[in-house]
Amino acid sequence: MNTFFSSLRHMFASSNKVHIVWCSAIILVMLILAVLHHKWKDDTKKFRIWRVMCLVPLIICGVHACIYVVGAPMFLGSFYMMYAIGVLALIPMLFAKRRTGYRITAVLTGLLICFCGLNFCASSPNVFNHSRESYTESFHSLVQDMDKYYVLKEWKEIDLPALEAEYMPMVEEAEKEQDPVKFWKAVEMFCIEMHDGHIGTGFSFDYSEYSTEKLIPAHGFVVVHEHGLAMIQLDNNDVIAVCTSSEVNAVGIEDGTVITKWNGKPVLQAIAEDAPDRGIFPVKANADRVAALELSRSVEGTVEVSFIDKSGKEQTVTLEELEDPHTFSEARDAFLHTLDPQEDVNYSTKMLDDKCGYLRLNAEGTDSGLHDTLGYLTGDHKWAKEMFREKLRDLKSQGMEYLVIDLRNNMGGLDVIGYMLCDLLTDKEWYCQGLGVRKDGKYVSQSDQYIHGDGEFADLKVIALTNYNCASAGDGTSLLLSKLPNVTLAGITDPNGCDQETGGVSILSGGLVLVVYPTGLVLNEDGKPNIDTAADRVSRDPVDVRIPFDYDAAMKIFRDKEDYELEWTVKYVEDKG
């Protein structure tokens, strides 16, 4: 019970106090109405006044909506619990003249109000509507929101006023031209400076109306200039072409061709100086691993490319920009081994051979809001533990001696579900994480949570497969698994490097751009933010074993579209058996 109440206290502490005040005001008015009904029910004139006063909670909701929701309709869902209280106030009014009916409805309404009120106050959203402000005003308001609510400002040593001063001229230019694309790009570049996988932007306008640049979805939207090839850097620092198109094949560049220069610069120099940065890479080593891929989509118009031809000579060609942007997304999806949603079934299991079992974990969540809420509050998700137990027992009955847990592209959810898997794989009790708050730039844990060590599968040899797209609770699961003596964490890249609780949303001028950022704090046993990179961008959740990434590996991944990482992992775990 201590964990339950301390977790509940954490939820209240992380909630937006402004909206809690609004909700409290509505509930207070309803209490006053209940008292006045008792005193005025026999006075006809006062009773009419009382009926009119029953509209006050709904009016307060309307005023709140005008201030916080108008211009940002997506926020309506954030406040539905509070607005439901305003609607509930009308129910007793309908039965006010019926003694028994009023008592019954008043009691039922009171219970519903308590439920809605507690639920809302425990999770009052950190959402901010600046849609009625200008570009510059809303950008300044965003900086103020993040300065107050972004939990990692101090940890990452971010000087928000300095960043505002750096990017405000771009915002001013966008405002002068009324160009939403320039506005979004300025906000996007500002957010990239945080190097936080939980910070992202979105937009609501039709990009094609304002720009001829091509976009593809990739943790938001990425501008892509297509030249018929993507590039990737190998362990030996060779940079090769992958996912090449017929246009570049015709001039001698094929999958595996070594690229030596990019737009006149030695390719490694071009990667270091010109590769676009993206905020989805908190870990610098992960960003470096895919920097060549990012560079290959960055040049508008023609690009000059030098390469080693089949005779071993260096050739230089000029490539025209193509219409259909596909090589970057094809290469990115191949590198991440992105599966079709119908194949990528969460918690699915199978035998990879007669000894090696496989468990897919692409998110930490269930279909039951009640199970998940109780799991979050208690640090003990019984449903998840028994689900994992049943699946592992089934694999064991099929002859499993080793297990591969596939965490690649895990987009997170509830950390407690990861605890439950670890709980079955160890017989020791140890600290998981603390749910905390940020006070005066310092971090204080409010709810410490532990793995208790069920231990049923503590002797099982396990390898957990991860990548840079494994984020949030997936990142947390990677870290917890790597701490177990019978588990090895492996990957070509480290996990993403973010694990805080999301919740902050600021909608900017005209509802054109929104920004999301973490506002809930997750701490480790030392009282520091769990996993998230500091200003140095060094991984705090590195893999135990780095999967080799050579020419043969690249060909299997990008040309043959094979699951090279899984193939390597099975061989590794059985060789180490």
**pLDDT, mean of residues 56-81:** 93
Residue carrying structure tokens 């362990």? 235
Q: Are 484 and 426 in contact (CB under 8 A)?
A: yes
Identify the pLDDT of residue 440: 80
Domain parsing of the chain, residue ranges: 17-125, 224-336, 349-434+447-498+531-548+561-576
Residue 405 main-chain phi, psi, to 5 deg? -105, 115
The answer on pLDDT for 205 being more than 80 is: yes
Tokens describing residue 392: 């592992």
What pLDDT, on a 0 to 100 scale, did the predictor assign at position 208? 86
Name which of 5-19, 387-401, 459-473 the model is least confident about.
Answer: 5-19
Instruction: Report residue 222: phi and psi, to 5°.
Output: -120, 130
Burial 132-161 (b: 16+ CB within 10 A, else e): ebebbebbbbbbebbeebbbbbebbebebe
**315, pLDDT greater than 70:** yes
Mean pLDDT across the chain: 92
CA 68, CA 84: separation in Å to the nearest integer?
16
Q: In this structure, how many other beta carbons lie within 10 angstroms of the beta carbon of residue 62?
A: 14
Helices 135-149, 180-192: axis angle to 10 degrees equals 20
**In 251-295, where does DSSP find H-type helix?**
267-274, 284-289, 291-295
For 125-175, write each residue's pLDDT tens digit. 899 999 999 999 999 999 999 999 999 999 999 999 999 999 999 999 999
- Say if residues 78 and 92 touch (Cβ distance below 8 Å): no
Q: What is the mean pLDDT of residues 198-207?
A: 92
Beta bridge partners of 241: 231
Q: What is the model's pLDDT at position 309?
A: 95
* Contacts with 34 (C-beta within 8 Å, 6 or more apart), sequence order: 92, 106, 110
pLDDT band at 341 (very low <50, low <70, confident <90, very high): confident
Structural tokens at position 28: 């207070």
d(CA 357, CA 486): 15
pLDDT confidence tier of residue 531, bands split at 50, 70 and 90: very high
- The tokens for 183 are 């506005």
pLDDT tier at 229, thresholds 50, 70, 90: very high
What local confidence, expressed as pLDDT, does residue 109 receive? 81
pLDDT at 220: 62
CA triplet 208, 213, 219: central angle to 5 degrees? 90
At 439, list the tokens: 């006070």
Residue 103, pLDDT score: 75
Using DSSP, state whether 99 is helix, strand or coil. helix
pLDDT digits (tens, 9 = 90+) for 78-106: 999 999 988 888 877 777 666 666 777 77
* Chain centre distance of CA 107: 41
CA distances from 560 to 289, 307, 334 (A): 20, 22, 10
Rounded CA-CA distance 205/203 in Å is 6
- In this predicted structure, which of 13-17, 248-252, 361-365, 520-524 has the lowest mean pLDDT? 13-17
Banded model confidence at residue 317, pLDDT cuts 50, 70, 90: very high
pTM > 0.95: no
Least confident segment among 13-22, 56-65, 306-315, 406-415: 13-22
Residues above pLDDT 90, as percent of the chain:
72
pLDDT of residue 1: 54
Query: What is the average pLDDT across 305-319?
Result: 96
Say what the pLDDT of residue 100 is: 63
Enumerate residues 6+ apart whose C-beta is below 8 A from 488: 462, 463, 464, 482, 544, 545, 572, 573, 576
User: Are 288 and 538 contacting, i.e. CB atoms less than 8 angstroms apart?
Assistant: no
Task: With cut-offs at 50, 70 and 90, classify the pLDDT of residue 516.
Answer: very high
Residue 313 identity (one-letter amino acid): K
What CATH number matches the domain at 349-434+447-498+531-548+561-576, 3.40.50.720, 3.40.190.10, 3.90.226.10, 3.30.450.20? 3.90.226.10
Q: Which residue has the higher pLDDT, 332 or 2?
A: 332
What local confidence, expressed as pLDDT, does residue 111 receive?
86
Q: Summarize pLDDT for 483-508 with one digit per residue, the tens.
A: 999 999 999 999 999 999 999 999 99
Rounded distance between C-alpha atoms, residue 142 and residue 232, angstroms = 36
Q: pLDDT at residue 219 above 60?
A: no
What number is the average pLDDT over the span 233-258? Answer: 97
Nearest-angstrom CA–CA distance, 474 and 526: 21
Using 50, 70 and 90 to split pLDDT, how confident is the model at 368? confident
Q: Stretch 248-255: mean pLDDT, rounded?
A: 96
Say which residues have a Cβ less than 8 Å from residue 285's Cβ, sequence separation at least 6: 493, 494, 538, 539
Residue for token digits 């610098």? 284
Token pair recorded at residue 227: 């030249």
**Nearest Cα to 509, choosing from 214, 148, 182?**
182
Query: Between these two residues, 363 and 89, which has the higher pLDDT value?
Result: 363
CATH annotation of 224-336: 2.30.42.10
Residues 6+ apart with CB under 8 A from 290: 232, 281, 332, 335, 468, 493
d(CA 153, CA 505): 16
CA end-to-end distance (rounded Å), the chain: 41
pLDDT at 340: 81
Residue-wise pLDDT tens digits, 440-465: 878 988 888 999 999 999 999 999 99
DSSP per residue, 498-525: --PEEEEEEE-GGG-EEEEEEEEEEE-T
Mean pLDDT of 385-404: 97
* Residue 408 contacts residue 467 (beta carbons within 8 Å): yes
> CA separation (Å) from 198 to 195, 427, 437, 471?
9, 33, 17, 8
Percent of the chain with pLDDT over 70: 98
